[in-house]
Chain A
């Protein structure tokens, strides 16, 4: 999808960059490519190598590939090419990105990661579900927490006791 690019903006001005924020993807690809290459060079190949192709070859190819693709992508963006944002049933691309929702959702996700070892899955999972539902706009003060707690406990029992996949129970279930 090639959109008309506003030619009036000066290169590297803020509006110019915003229009070409996809250059950031190129930057990430270059960074990743350099990382892969640096790591590949560090690998010792003098010992333990079996066969003519060592552990370095593929990382070097991938690293170089990333940098080449980053350059091609940057060229495409500078020529007016734009990646097409993905649509979907629940996606309204006409609306501007809602960063508050995204950050709240990230918070709920990371809260689970931080809490799971401390208070156990039944609680941290409920926090995750309730937090995520809140972030996405659900404000029912009774149904939301009940649903979160129910889902969390049922999942815990299903995985931990029936499927044999251990989840941390935390202090609440510690005595069982």
Chain B
């Protein structure tokens, strides 16, 4: 019942006019960004990090969370109407959503997706309310070795679970860690990789790195291969569902969150894997199996509910352990660092008002999103027609504003340019961006925790392994590292029919 009282207090925080306005702004921006090609929620939050200089933390996180949830809603609109996902969580929505739209059932597909997101979000956020305090309470005693183990897990997970190539994932992670080294060593004050420059002595601000990798790198990369004629969106009316559609959708809506929430909470790449699993599950359970791939509404309803629930799961790990499992969570973690707040088990004690205000605002945001997306879907779809030169010029423009605002220093713009070019090269050669950003954000913290743990153990390496929690986490790390072997042993029972479904080539992690 303690959670319930906290949640009520959270609603009191979230229902103040300022916070309500910020939640509304967040979901509006999030939906727009989800719909817009080229911008994902992670890039959006990165571009908005400078507001942390002007807003108090509760308001800022209410807005960021609104963007995250809104991006989920908006992303499926792009998938359904354009057959190219607006962001990685919505890849699966294109498989059946787009055929539905082409058959003139776009309204039903949009409604199934929007209600699916709402149901998934509500169930996921409820689970967050029920579980997060328990997880935080369980983890409240964890010390330096445990934190270090969690961060190692984050490093290994983003490089091993995601992406086609582990070598390239590790290359990206190490680049991020190297960038994170720049500046004064926190424990001794020694300069590292500063080359005597005063500009570099404070380190490279994480806002500059995040915006450079996500926004500048993406703009340059798109510029090199800009599609001269953007794909045409299928025109669509107001979103609604008939009785038959409703009868076929409600079970997938309820099943999806059960898959999405746990996957969101573990470092397995956010929504990509669970949405695909949900799709496969719905296909197996459906009586209309032959319709899958040609416009089965279950194939939209299930995965979309899964996607939103996974966003809630992501927040559990981020808030209770400080473990970012997706790019958005990583950037939000950077925002916490900007405020000097350490997410982790103590967050629920020290920043109770912030956390519960944030959680309550998620429920409010979901209601707003349902209202925004059901009747207004055709309006959002118009965003797909934005001229691409303006879109990418605007991204570069706001990236520059954000980087400059950090220190009012032109030097930051030049650093951002260099890292942006790096982001371009990484996209060209298939180095994933997420490991680099996790390396920059978690690298310095991981080093501090490791050195603190070794200080306590007087230099003995056992100091890193002397808690049960750390051992469990390292056990998971070992499983992840040996995953290719394990997968070879259990991958047999997948039916080959899946390969025939018209699935978009590869989930694109859109920043």
A interacts with B: yes
| Distance in angstroms between the alpha carbons of A159 and B164 in the assembled complex | 41
The smallest C-beta distance from A27 to any residue of chain B, in angstroms, reads 11
Which residues from 76 to 121 on chain A have a C-beta closer than 8 Å to any C-beta of chain B?
76, 81-93, 95, 97-99, 101-102, 105-106, 108-110, 112-113, 116-117, 121
A174 at the interface (CB under 8 A from B): no
The smallest C-beta distance from B40 to any residue of chain A, in angstroms, reads 10
A147 at the interface (CB under 8 A from B): yes
Name, among A29, A90, A108, A112, the residue most crowded by chain B CB atoms within 10 Å (CB to CB): A90
Which residues from 387 to 426 on chain B have a C-beta closer than 8 Å to any C-beta of chain A?
387-390, 392-394, 396-398, 400-401, 404-405, 408, 410, 413-414, 417, 420-421, 424-425
- Residues of B that sit less than 8 Å from A by CB: 37-38, 50-51, 53-54, 78, 82, 84-86, 164-165, 167-168, 170-171, 174-175, 177-178, 181, 185, 187-193, 195, 216, 218-228, 230-231, 387-390, 392-394, 396-398, 400-401, 404-405, 408, 410, 413-414, 417, 420-421, 424-425, 427-431, 447, 450-452, 454-455, 458-459, 505-506, 508, 510
Q: Is the CB of A53 within 8 A of B417?
A: no
A–B Cβ pairs within 8 angstroms, 11 of them: A36-B181, A51-B454, A52-B459, A90-B38, A105-B396, A109-B396, A112-B400, A128-B400, A129-B396, A137-B228, A155-B397
The smallest C-beta distance from B396 to any residue of chain A, in angstroms, reads 5
The smallest C-beta distance from B422 to any residue of chain A, in angstroms, reads 8
A69's partner among B174, B190, B221, B505 (CB-CB below 8 A) is B174
B433 nearest CB neighbor, chain A only: A86
Contacts of A149 in B (CB 8 A): none
B429's partner among A25, A72, A91, A113 (CB-CB below 8 A) is A25
A8 at the interface (CB under 8 A from B): no
Contacts of B222 in A (CB 8 A): 88, 90-91
| Distance in angstroms between the alpha carbons of A93 and B221 in the assembled complex | 10
Question: Contacts A25-B171, A163-B54; is A55 near B187 (CB within 8 Å)?
Answer: yes
| Distance in angstroms between the alpha carbons of A54 and B224 in the assembled complex | 44
A49's partner among B168, B188, B195, B454 (CB-CB below 8 A) is B188
Question: Contacts A66-B178, A84-B164; is A113 near B223 (CB within 8 Å)?
Answer: no
A166 nearest CB neighbor, chain B only: B408
Which residues from 1 to 19 on chain A have a C-beta closer than 8 Å to any C-beta of chain B?
1
| Distance in angstroms between the alpha carbons of A105 and B185 in the assembled complex | 36
A48 nearest CB neighbor, chain B only: B188
The smallest C-beta distance from A60 to any residue of chain B, in angstroms, reads 11
- Tally the A-B contacts, defined by beta carbons under 8 Å: 255
Given contacts A32-B175, A88-B37, A101-B226, 19 further A-B pairs with CB under 8 A are A36-B178, A52-B454, A52-B459, A53-B455, A53-B459, A58-B181, A86-B427, A86-B428, A87-B505, A89-B86, A92-B225, A113-B413, A113-B417, A125-B397, A130-B393, A138-B387, A165-B54, A167-B408, A168-B408
Contacts of B387 in A (CB 8 A): 138
Q: Is the CB of B187 within 8 A of A165?
A: no
A73 at the interface (CB under 8 A from B): yes
Q: Is the CB of B401 within 8 A of A65?
A: no
Q: Is the CB of A167 within 8 A of B405?
A: yes
| Distance in angstroms between the alpha carbons of A97 and B429 in the assembled complex | 13
- Chain B at the A interface: SS class: helix
Q: Is the CB of A73 within 8 A of B167?
A: yes
The smallest C-beta distance from B155 to any residue of chain A, in angstroms, reads 11
B168's partner among A62, A83, A134 (CB-CB below 8 A) is A83
B463 nearest CB neighbor, chain A only: A52
Name, among B225, B413, B414, B425, the residue most crowded by chain A CB atoms within 10 Å (CB to CB): B225
Contacts of B78 in A (CB 8 A): 89
A171 at the interface (CB under 8 A from B): no
A62's partner among B177, B228, B388, B396 (CB-CB below 8 A) is B177
| Distance in angstroms between the alpha carbons of A159 and B413 in the assembled complex | 17
B414 nearest CB neighbor, chain A only: A113
Q: Is the CB of B53 within 8 A of A163?
A: yes
| Distance in angstroms between the alpha carbons of A62 and B410 in the assembled complex | 29
Question: Contacts A53-B451, A137-B389; is A89 near B226 (CB within 8 Å)?
Answer: no
